[in-house]
Structures are given as C-alpha cells and as structure tokens.
C-alpha cells in the first residue's frame, strides 16, 4: 500500500499537500469560547475525509490518534466529510488533523492546523465630547466591541444609568449636565460575557453663558 505520511510538530504546524487545500480554518485561527466553528477542505470527488482533534501539540500527529477530550472540544454531527463543525468548550490552543483517502483507499494525505480558543470580553469606550454651554444637551458616543446585543451601565459618579438591547455600535447617549462632569462605563455585557472593568473616564466641559453687557458707556 502506497501511503504518503507527514509528521507535524509544534514548530511545523501546517502540512500542505496537493490533495488538501484548507478553506476556512486559516480565517478561523482565532475562535471564541462556546462558538461552533466550521472547518473545511476542498473536496476531491471520490475522496473520504476524517478529522481528529488534539489539545497537545507535542505529539506525532501522523501516528498518534486525536487526544482532545470531548469536554474541551467536540465534533458536532460527526468527524467525517470535507466540512465538519467543532464546538469549543474550553479556552486554549487546539490542533486538528484531517486525513484524506483516495477512491482506492491506498493514498493518504494529512493536513494539520491550529486553532486558538479565547474568551471574548466586550468593551465600551466613550469618545471625549466637545464642550457645551450650560443648558445645552451633549451626545456621548460609546463604541462597543464584542457580539451584540449589548447592555451597558454608565455613570457620572453620582447617578448610574443602564441601557439594554443595544443592537449596533456605536451608540449615542444624551446628557445635560449643569456643570463640567466626568462619565465612564462601569459595566458592559454582550451575548458571550460581562466586563465589569471600568472604562477610562471622559470629561464633558460645561461653559457658562456669556453675561450681557453694554458695548460702551456714554455719558453726556
């Protein structure tokens, strides 16, 4: 049986062979906890594909079977075919191997890839606002990261306000302070996580209205 075997190590993570061209894994090198990710190869008619997962990059991928426990990352709907789905259950660095057999079952090719699973933490940042005059209303521009919808809580140090079901970033918040006031975000939530680290504060300068006075004083 004519088999073409390649050994992949930590320092040589990707084996590119003519029969296997990775489609989506390159764009999905970084994924997020609880995501379900599709990994694909270009399908060759008559070939069969089997996928394996590893949570240890020091093994000989060519001869060691997949060693990733299902409690860390698991195949959804099976591990065979040109496209498979993986649900990531723990953060960390993972490796996948896809093995292709030709129609005769005699020629085997391997491809190794790496996936980093992160816990995505949303953030919210207020853009420093332009000064206003007393009695005017200012709009605070709040830029969000993460995956919506979001919920944010902002404060001026005395009063806190919460906005829910935010569908898009940035979001504009109207405020009308009587004196120069600082604002910051105390908490932001998205569909994945909660970030309770306060954002940097910004200062909204409130200028007094000019006092009317005579342009000149005339005395006879």
- CA angle, corner 133, sides to 132 and 134, nearest 5? 120
Averaged pLDDT for residues 143-147: 93
Q: Quick: pLDDT tens for 76-114.
A: 999 999 999 999 999 999 999 999 998 888 777 888 899
Domain boundary among 48, 83, 118: 118
The boundaries of the domain holding residue 41 are 26-118
Q: What is the reported pLDDT for 5?
A: 33
pLDDT tens digits, 182-206: 999 999 999 888 999 999 999 999 9
pLDDT at residue number 22:
41
The answer to whether the beta carbons of residues 112 and 96 sit under 8 Å apart is yes
Other Cβ atoms within 10 Å of 220 Cβ, number: 2
pTM of the entire structure? 0.58
* Residue range 18-54, pLDDT digits in tens: 334 443 334 347 888 888 999 999 999 999 999 999 9
According to DSSP, the residues that pair with 123 across neighbouring strands are 145
Domain termination residue (choose one: 118, 134, 165): 118
Same domain (yes/no): 143, 81: no
Task: Based on the fold, state whether residues 107 and 51 are members of the same structural domain.
Answer: yes
Tokens for 195, please give them.
Answer: 């970030």
Last residue of a domain, one of 85, 118, 151: 118
Distance of CA 35 to the CA centre of its chain: 10
């Amino acid at each position: 049986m004519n088999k073409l075997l390649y050994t992949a190590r930590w320092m040589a993570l990707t084996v590119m062979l003519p029969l296997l061209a990775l489609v989506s894994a390159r764009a999905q090198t970084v994924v997020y906890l609880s995501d379900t990710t599709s990994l694909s190869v270009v399908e060759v008619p008559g070939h069969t594909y089997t996928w394996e997962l590893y949570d240890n990059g020091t093994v000989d991928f060519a001869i060691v079977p997949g060693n990733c426990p299902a409690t860390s990352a698991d195949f959804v709907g099976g591990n065979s075919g040109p496209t498979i789905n993986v649900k990531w259950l723990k953060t960390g660095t993972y490796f996948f191997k896809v093995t292709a057999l030709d129609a005769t079952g005699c020629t085997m090719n391997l491809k190794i890839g790496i996936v980093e699973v992160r816990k995505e933490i949303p953030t919210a940042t207020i853009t420093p606002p332009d000064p206003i005059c007393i009695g005017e209303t200012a709009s605070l521009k709040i830029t969000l990261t993460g995956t919506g919808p979001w919920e944010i809580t902002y404060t001026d140090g005395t009063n806190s306000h919460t906005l829910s079901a935010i569908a898009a970033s940035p979001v504009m918040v109207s405020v009308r302070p009587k004196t120069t006031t600082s604002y910051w975000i105390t908490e932001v939530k998205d569909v994945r996580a909660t970030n309770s680290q306060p954002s940097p504060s910004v200062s909204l300068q409130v200028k007094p209205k000019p006092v009317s006075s005579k342009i000149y004083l005339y005395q006879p």
